[in-house]
Chains A and B, each alone.
Chain A
Amino acid sequence: MSAVIDTAAKPEVITFTEAFSRALHDAMEMDPAVITLGEDIGDEEGGGIFKVTKGLSTKFGTDRVKTTPISEQAIVGAAIGASLAGMRPIAEIMLMNFITVPMDQIVNHAAKLRFMSGGQTHVPITIRTRTGAGAGTGGQHSDMLEAWFAHVAGMKVVVPSTPADAYGLLLGCIFDNDPCLFIEDQLTRTQTGPVPVKGEIIKLGKAHIAREGTDVSVIGYGRPVRDAMVLAEKLAAEGISVEVVDLRTVSPLDTETVLKSVAKTGRAVVIHEAPRSFGCGAEIAARIQESLYSELKAPVLRVASRDVTVPFSRVLEAAYLYQASGIEAAIRQTLEKRAAR
Chain B
Amino acid sequence: MNKSFTPATLLEIYRKGRLINLIDERFRGLLRSGRLAAVYYSPRGQEILAAAMGVHLQQTDYLVTTYRGIHDQLAKGIPLRPLFAEYYAKATGACKGKGGPMHITHPETGVMVTTGIVGSGLPIANGLAWASQLKKDGRVTLVTFGDGASNIGAFHEALNMASLWKLPVIFLCQNNLYGESSKYAKCTAVDNVAERAAGYNMPGVTVNGNDPEAMWRASGEAVARARAGEGPTLLEAKTFRFMGHYFGDPGAYIPKEEYDAHLARDPMPIARAAVLSSGAATEAELAAYDDEVNAKIDDALQFAADSPFPDVSEIDIDVYGAAA
Contact = CB atoms under 8 A, between A and B. Distances in A.
A81 B323 contact: no
Given A77-B123, A117-B95, 7 more contacts: A64-B134, A78-B123, A85-B132, A114-B320, A117-B98, A120-B106, A154-B319
Interface in B99-126: 99-100, 103, 105-107, 112-113, 115-117, 120, 122-126
A76 B97 CA distance: 27
Given A105-B120, A176-B323, A120 B105 contact: yes
Interface in A78-122: 78-87, 89, 104-105, 108-109, 113-122
A118 B124 contact: no
A109 B161 contact: no
A117 B103 contact: yes
A154 B127 contact: no
A154 B135 CA distance: 27
Interface residues of B, number: 51
B87 interface: no
Contacts of A82: 127-128, 130-131, 134
A77 B127 CA distance: 7
Given A71-B161, A74-B161, A114-B318, A81 B127 contact: yes
A69 B164 contact: yes
B199 interface: no
B103 A81 contact: no
Interface stretch (B20-28, B152-160, B173-181, B189-197): B152-160
Interface of B: 62, 64, 93-100, 103, 105-107, 112-113, 115-117, 120, 122-135, 141, 153-154, 157-158, 160-161, 164-165, 317-324
Given A69-B157, A120-B105, A154 B130 contact: no
Given A81-B130, A105-B123, A117-B99, A71 B318 contact: no
A119 B96 contact: yes
Contacts, number: 164
Contact of B157 (A74, A108, A109): A74
A25 interface: no
Nearest to A177: B321
Contacts of B133: 63
A149 to B, nearest CB: 14
A156 B123 CA distance: 22
B315 to A, nearest CB: 9
Contacts of A64: 134
A35 interface: yes
Contact of A118 (B62, B98, B128, B132): B98
Nearest to A203: B323
Nearest to B159: A74
Contacts of A121: 105, 107, 112-113
B82 to A, nearest CB: 10
Contact of B160 (A71, A116, A124, A204): A71
Nearest to A86: B131
A66 interface: yes
A116 B321 contact: no
B160 A81 contact: no
A74 B98 CA distance: 27
Contacts of B100: 116
Most A-side CB within 10 Å, residue of B115, B135, B153, B324: B324
Contacts of B141: 81
A339 interface: no
Contacts of B117: 104, 108-109
Given A78-B126, A78-B127, A87-B131, A116 B105 contact: yes
A87 B133 CA distance: 12
Given A74-B123, A77-B122, A81-B126, A124 B318 contact: no
Contacts of B126: 74, 77-78, 81
Contacts of A84: 112-113, 124, 127-128, 131
Nearest to A154: B319
A73 B124 CA distance: 9
Nearest to A204: B323
B17 to A, nearest CB: 27
Contacts of A122: 321
A68 interface: yes
A69 B123 contact: no
Contacts of A203: 323
A119 B98 CA distance: 9
Given A77-B124, A104-B117, A176 B324 contact: yes
Contact of B124 (A109, A154, A204, A205): A109
Given A77-B158, A176-B323, A120 B94 contact: yes
B173 to A, nearest CB: 17
18 contacts: A68-B161, A69-B164, A74-B123, A77-B126, A81-B64, A81-B123, A84-B113, A85-B128, A87-B131, A104-B154, A108-B115, A108-B120, A119-B321, A121-B107, A153-B319, A175-B324, A178-B321, A204-B323
Interface in A33-70: 35, 63-64, 66, 68-69
Interface in A239-288: 252
A81 B95 contact: no
Given A69-B157, A71-B157, A74-B161, A109 B319 contact: no
Given A78-B161, A115-B318, A63 B124 contact: no
Interface string A1-27: 000000000000000000000000000
B320 A117 contact: no
Nearest to A89: B127
Given A68-B161, A69-B160, A78-B161, A109 B320 contact: no
Contacts of A35: 130, 134
A83 B113 CA distance: 12
A118 B104 CA distance: 10
B154 A77 contact: yes
B127 A114 contact: no
A118 B318 contact: yes
Contacts of A85: 62, 112, 127-128, 131-132, 135
A114 B319 contact: yes
